[in-house]
Amino acid sequence: MVTKEALATFLAAEFPQSKATVEALGKDSATVRHRVGVDELRPGGTVSGPVMMAVADVALYSAILGRIGIVPMAVTTSLSINFLRKPSADADILGVCKLLKVGRTLAVGEVVIYSEGSDEPVAHAVGTYAIPPKRKS
């Protein structure tokens, strides 16, 4: 199956702006980390919403590619996120994705997002991806 290293190489090429990195990859799951520095913070000391959305997106993408193999054309079709608690300014953001369904044309997963070191999620997201049809060779 897809290794963490192969996925990291692919993501670096595909999402050159993303600061999220893959921490772990399971059969139906993936964990990604987003370092939190001054670029991620808002006044008052909290991580901006778009950073958490980006983490959710990369976590879902990683879990799906880990499962179906590296398919460059898989695209996010929807993402729905609830913000639950104020993230810490002093901790990295972790996104833990669990796939709910991987069908022939659609994959669905949920992502629980944490400030590292806390058990209480800061956000919860659900996303869907369209999987391109297999090409005949």
Report the interface residues with its own copies, using CB under 8 A: 13-18, 39-40, 42-44, 48-50, 53-54, 57, 72, 75-85, 100-101, 105-106, 108, 110, 121, 124, 126, 128, 130
CB nearer to its own copies: pick between 89 and 108: 108
CB nearer to its own copies: pick between 26 and 72: 72
Tokens of 53: 């959305």
Min dist CB 63 to its own copies, Å, is 15
What's the length of the chain? 137
User: Residue 102 belongs to what H/E stretch?
Assistant: strand 93-102
The number of angstroms, rounded, from the C-alpha of 37 to the middle of its chain's C-alpha atoms is 18
Min dist CB 99 to its own copies, Å, is 10
The number of angstroms, rounded, from the C-alpha of 120 to the middle of its chain's C-alpha atoms is 18
> Among residues 55, 69, 43, 61, which one has the least CA distance to residue 18?
55
Tokens of 58: 């990369």
Distance in angstroms (rounded) separating the CA atoms of residues 95 and 32? 5
Min dist CB 4 to its own copies, Å, is 21
Min dist CB 91 to its own copies, Å, is 18
